[in-house]
Amino acid sequence: MKELWKLSAREAVSLLKRKKVSPLELIDAAAARIEATNPKINAFVTLCYDRARAHAKRLMKKKPAGKLPPHYLYGLPIGVKDGTDVEGVRTTSGSRIYKDRIAPSSDVVVQRLEANGAIVIGKTNLPEFAAGGNTFNDVFGATLNPWDVTKSASGSSGGTAAALAAGQVWLATGGDFGGSIRTPSSFNSITGLRPSPGMVPRTSKQPFSPLSVEGPMARDVADTALFFDCEAGWHPLDPLSQVGPHPSFSKAAARPVKPRRIGFSTDLGIARAVDKEVRAVSKAAAEKLGRSGVKVEEAHPDLADAEKTFHTLRGAVFIARHGELMKQYRHLYKPEIIGNLEMGLALKPEDIVAAEIAQGEIIRRVAKWFESYDALLCPVITCPPFDVKLRYPTHVDGVALEGYMGYLVLTCAITATACPVVSLPGGFTKGGLPVGLQLVGPPRSEARLLSMAAWVEACLDVSPKTPIDPR
């Protein structure tokens, strides 16, 4: 009981359900672990223990009105990414513009999680406005990687991933546009799901694009599925949200399914360069799956135009998110976001329409490819965790990259497909740094994908496992 932080989320929820521990005890356990580790990694940036304890006391007194869902969390403490509003809690989005902002109400995903028995204990760090693959900002500074505190935790859900890897919480929220769930999961050797658009309802000031999604992050596939059960569903404020009922994702993860045939690629035919150790770890994982009876073939869908399409549509989203705000606060923005906005403003209407049509073609092309394959396996990111003092890698394997997102091409391209994808631990470099794998499934296949991911996770059996003490 002295090391509750080492439990899986499922184990912790089981103890809560059987009243072997109380929500207040788990809040205290999380608080103690945060106190012990956060000075080393800076994963949590705002804590709301008073709010959490008040919430816990209400839950402990409340008698259920009816039968609770099987995925109910019974007062499990969670972290929420600092770009997501929690009522009455400071929410900055990592920007000096909002450094003193208190959220007037909770985002729909937080409302959903709290309705399913989660208790928010604090906010996790992210890059300014969640832009860029390295978690640092001028409000809170950088989040450091628990596997090596001189390295980046990636981003934008870097605070969430580092907090999970260090055992500060059992579950925490993420969001993914160009890889913001997947790349931090890779760098911190945890698990994250980028679901199909609309699976997790969300509201934000941007076009109703299939690019940006909310999703669960945890330490393994089964905990990720449990959290996803709590997030997924329909909401009237999100026209992309999916009317259920959805299958039980927890049950799917509890029934591992061996993929029959998967396509494997280290570069998806589009990456200018992939680090040698990332290639080696990815190939070793694919070979292990092959030895376990999976038919693994060097194959991938045609994604030749995916990167360009992604960046065009992303530019349009940046106009909606930052166009008006930047007129007043340009001096408070980091240069990368200014560059993204200027790229968006330079687009012509016909460029955006052409990109939307192109994405439709990509989605249909990839769906057709999945008629022959159960899944696609590839690296999450083209390089291992890099020096946290770098804003972003400019070269990979000695090859110069284009733009500050050049090293993120493997996640950006998959975003354009609108397919669900799980980021799984794949292994480690010779220096002990994590390397993650993307396991991509056909459109709207989250339940089967989680079943396959559970099988792949067990087959690869990557050790050491989280949570770890920051080193």
pLDDT digits 0-9 by tens, 277-291: 999 999 999 999 999
E-strand ranges in 44-190 read 44-47, 76-81, 118-124, 136-137, 141-142, 144-145, 148-152, 171-176
Active site residues: 81, 156, 180
Instruction: Take residue 164 and report the two structure tokens written for it.
Output: 């999970």
293-314 residue pLDDT tens = 999 999 999 999 999 999 999 9
Across the range 50-72, mean pLDDT stands at: 93
pLDDT at 206: 66
Close Cβ partners of 57 (under 8 Å, ≥ 6 residues apart): 24
The CA-atom distances, in angstroms, between 61 and each of 9, 16, 215, 418 are: 22, 14, 30, 42
DSSP bridge pairs for 81: 124
Peptide linkage before 216 cis (omega within 30 of 0): no
pLDDT digits (tens, 9 = 90+) for 226-282: 999 999 999 998 888 988 789 999 999 999 999 999 999 999 999 999 999 999 999
- Residue 168 tokens read as 């500060």
Q: What is the pLDDT of residue 1?
A: 57
9 touches 226 (CB < 8 A): yes
Q: Tell me which CATH homologous superfamily contains domain 4-460.
A: Amidase signature (AS) domain (3.90.1300.10)
pLDDT of amino acid 37: 98
pLDDT at 65 over 90: no
Residue 203: per-residue pLDDT: 82
Q: Model pTM? A: 0.98
How many CA atoms does the CB half-sphere of 422 hold within 13 Å? 33
Residues 392 and 394: their CA atoms lie apart, in Å, by 6
Q: What's the whole-number average pLDDT of the chain?
A: 96
Q: Is pLDDT of 209 > 70? A: yes
Per-residue pLDDT at 243: 84
Q: Is the pLDDT of residue 63 over 90?
A: no
Residue 168 has pLDDT above 80, yes or no: yes
What is the per-residue pLDDT across 114-152, written as a single tens digit (0 to 9) for each? 999 999 999 999 999 999 899 999 999 999 999 999 999
| Whole-number Å distance between alpha carbons of 412 and 310 | 7
Average pLDDT score over residue span 183-198: 97
pLDDT (0 to 100) of residue 64: 80
Q: Which of 25-29, 186-190, 209-213 has the lowest average pLDDT?
A: 209-213
pLDDT at 207: 67
Q: How many CA atoms lie within 13 A of 469 on its CB side?
A: 2
The Cα 119–Cα 364 span in angstroms is 40
Band the pLDDT of 56: cuts 50, 70, 90: very high
- How far is Cα of residue 356 from the mean position of the Cα atoms in its chain? 24
Percent of the chain exceeding pLDDT 70 equals 99
Block residue for tokens 């240069």: 335
Those residues whose C-beta lies under 8 Å from the C-beta of residue 427, and which sit 6 or more positions away, are 281, 284, 285, 434, 435, 460, 462
User: 204 Cβ partners below 8 Å, 6+ apart?
Assistant: 212, 321
pLDDT tops 80 at residue 205: no
